[in-house]
A and B are shown apart, each in its own frame.
Chain A
Amino acid sequence: MSIETPDNLRYSKEDEWARREGNRVTVGVTDYAQQQLGDVVFVELPEAGKVVDRGEPFGVIESVKAVADLFSPVGGEIVEVNAALSQTPESVNEDCYGDGWMVVIELADPSEYDGLLDAAAYGDFVKSRSD
Chain B
Amino acid sequence: MSATGPGHTPRTSRPNASSGIAYEEPLLFERSVEGRVGYQLPRADVPEVDPAELLGADGVRDDLPGLPEVSEVEVVRHFTRLSTWNAAVDLGLYPLGSCTMKYNPKVNERMARLPGFAAAHPMQGDENSQGVLELLHRLGGALAEVSGLDHVSLQPAAGAQGELAGIMMIRAYHRARGEQRTRVLVPDSAHGTNPASAALNGFEVTTIPTGEDGVLHPEPVAEAMAEDVAGIMITNPNTCGIFERHIGRITEIVHAKGGLVYLDGANLNALLGIARPGDMGVDVMHFNLHKTFSTPHGGGGPGSGPVGVKAHLEPFLPSPVVVQRDDGSYGLDAERPQAIGRLHGNLGNVGMAVRAWTYIRSLGSEGLQRCGEMAVLNANYLLARLRDHFHVAYDQPVMHECVLSDRGLSESGVTTLDVAKRLIDYGYHPPTIYFPLVVPGALMIEPTESESLEGLDRFADTLIQIAGEAHETPDVVREAPHRTRHRRLDETRAARRPVLTWQPEQPES
Q: Which residues of A contact B (CB under 8 A)?
A: 1, 36, 39, 41-42, 64-68, 89-90
Interface string of B411-437 (1 = CB under 8 A from A): 000000100000000000000011001
Q: Are A64 and B495 in contact (CB under 8 A)?
A: yes
Known A1-B410, A36-B440; contact A65-B434, beta-carbon cutoff 8 A: yes
Q: Are A89 and B496 in contact (CB under 8 A)?
A: yes
In the assembled complex, B491 has its CB within 8 A of some CB on chain A: yes
Beyond contacts A39-B496, A89-B496, A90-B496: 6 other A-B pairs, Cβ-Cβ < 8 A, are A1-B410, A39-B492, A39-B495, A41-B495, A66-B434, A90-B492
What's the nearest-Cβ distance from chain B to residue A1, in Å? 7
Residues of A contacting B410 in the complex (Cβ-Cβ under 8 angstroms): 1
What's the nearest-Cβ distance from chain B to residue A98, in Å? 19
Most buried by A among B433, B437, B440, B496: B496
In whole angstroms, how far apart are the Cα atoms of A42 and B492 in the complex?
Answer: 10
Most buried by B among A36, A65, A67, A68: A65
What's the nearest-Cβ distance from chain B to residue A41, in Å? 4
Q: Are A64 and B440 in contact (CB under 8 A)?
A: no
In whole angstroms, how far apart are the Cα atoms of A26 and B371 in the complex?
Answer: 55
Residues of A contacting B496 in the complex (Cβ-Cβ under 8 angstroms): 39, 41-42, 89-90
Residues of A contacting B433 in the complex (Cβ-Cβ under 8 angstroms): 65
For the complex, would chain A's binding face be called helix, strand, loop or mixed by DSSP majority? loop
In the complex, which residue of chain A has the Cβ closest to the Cβ of B495?
A41
In whole angstroms, how far apart are the Cα atoms of A64 and B498 in the complex?
Answer: 13
What's the nearest-Cβ distance from chain B to residue A35, in Å? 10
What's the nearest-Cβ distance from chain B to residue A103, in Å? 21
Q: Which residues of B contact A (CB under 8 A)?
A: 192, 410, 417, 433-434, 437, 440, 491-492, 495-496
What's the nearest-Cβ distance from chain B to residue A90, in Å? 7
Q: Are B492 and A64 in contact (CB under 8 A)?
A: yes
Q: Are B437 and A41 in contact (CB under 8 A)?
A: no
Residues of A contacting B491 in the complex (Cβ-Cβ under 8 angstroms): 39, 64
In whole angstroms, how far apart are the Cα atoms of A67 and B196 in the complex?
Answer: 13
In whole angstroms, how far apart are the Cα atoms of A1 and B415 in the complex?
Answer: 13
In whole angstroms, how far apart are the Cα atoms of A68 and B440 in the complex?
Answer: 13
Q: Are A66 and B492 in contact (CB under 8 A)?
A: no
In whole angstroms, how far apart are the Cα atoms of A89 and B433 in the complex?
Answer: 23
Total A-B contacts with CB atoms under 8 angstroms apart? 24
What's the nearest-Cβ distance from chain A to residue B128, in Å? 48
Residues of B contacting A89 in the complex (Cβ-Cβ under 8 angstroms): 496
Residues of A contacting B495 in the complex (Cβ-Cβ under 8 angstroms): 39, 41-42, 64
In whole angstroms, how far apart are the Cα atoms of A112 and B192 in the complex?
Answer: 31
Question: Can you show 23 pairs from A to B with CB atoms below 8 A apart?
Answer: A1-B410, A36-B440, A39-B491, A39-B492, A39-B496, A41-B492, A41-B495, A41-B496, A42-B495, A42-B496, A64-B491, A64-B492, A64-B495, A65-B417, A65-B433, A65-B434, A66-B434, A66-B437, A67-B192, A68-B437, A89-B496, A90-B492, A90-B496
In the complex, which residue of chain A has the Cβ closest to the Cβ of B410?
A1
What's the nearest-Cβ distance from chain B to residue A34, in Å? 13
In whole angstroms, how far apart are the Cα atoms of A68 and B433 in the complex?
Answer: 16
In whole angstroms, how far apart are the Cα atoms of A33 and B405 in the complex?
Answer: 18
In the complex, which residue of chain B has the Cβ closest to the Cβ of A1?
B410
In the complex, which residue of chain B has the Cβ closest to the Cβ of A42?
B495
In whole angstroms, how far apart are the Cα atoms of A89 and B492 in the complex?
Answer: 11
Residues of B contacting A36 in the complex (Cβ-Cβ under 8 angstroms): 440
What's the nearest-Cβ distance from chain B to residue A82, in Å? 16
In whole angstroms, how far apart are the Cα atoms of A67 and B434 in the complex?
Answer: 11
In the complex, which residue of chain A has the Cβ closest to the Cβ of B440?
A36
In whole angstroms, how far apart are the Cα atoms of A126 and B417 in the complex?
Answer: 23
In whole angstroms, how far apart are the Cα atoms of A42 and B496 in the complex?
Answer: 7
Residues of B contacting A90 in the complex (Cβ-Cβ under 8 angstroms): 492, 496
Most buried by A among B192, B434, B491, B492: B492
What's the nearest-Cβ distance from chain B to residue A129, in Å? 9
What's the nearest-Cβ distance from chain A to residue B275, in Å? 31
What's the nearest-Cβ distance from chain B to residue A61, in Å? 13
What's the nearest-Cβ distance from chain B to residue A31, in Å? 15
In whole angstroms, how far apart are the Cα atoms of A90 and B496 in the complex?
Answer: 9
Residues of A contacting B434 in the complex (Cβ-Cβ under 8 angstroms): 65-66
In whole angstroms, how far apart are the Cα atoms of A37 and B417 in the complex?
Answer: 13
What's the nearest-Cβ distance from chain A to residue B417, in Å? 8
What's the nearest-Cβ distance from chain A to residue B492, in Å? 4
In whole angstroms, how far apart are the Cα atoms of A68 and B434 in the complex?
Answer: 13
In whole angstroms, how far apart are the Cα atoms of A97 and B433 in the complex?
Answer: 28
Residues of B contacting A1 in the complex (Cβ-Cβ under 8 angstroms): 410
In whole angstroms, how far apart are the Cα atoms of A68 and B495 in the complex?
Answer: 16
In whole angstroms, how far apart are the Cα atoms of A15 and B229 in the complex?
Answer: 29
What's the nearest-Cβ distance from chain B to residue A87, in Å? 9
In whole angstroms, how far apart are the Cα atoms of A9 and B291 in the complex?
Answer: 48
Residues of B contacting A42 in the complex (Cβ-Cβ under 8 angstroms): 495-496
Which 6 pairs of residues, A with B, have the shortest CB-CB distance?
Answer: A41-B495, A39-B492, A65-B434, A41-B496, A64-B491, A64-B492
Residues of B contacting A41 in the complex (Cβ-Cβ under 8 angstroms): 492, 495-496
What's the nearest-Cβ distance from chain B to residue A130, in Å? 8
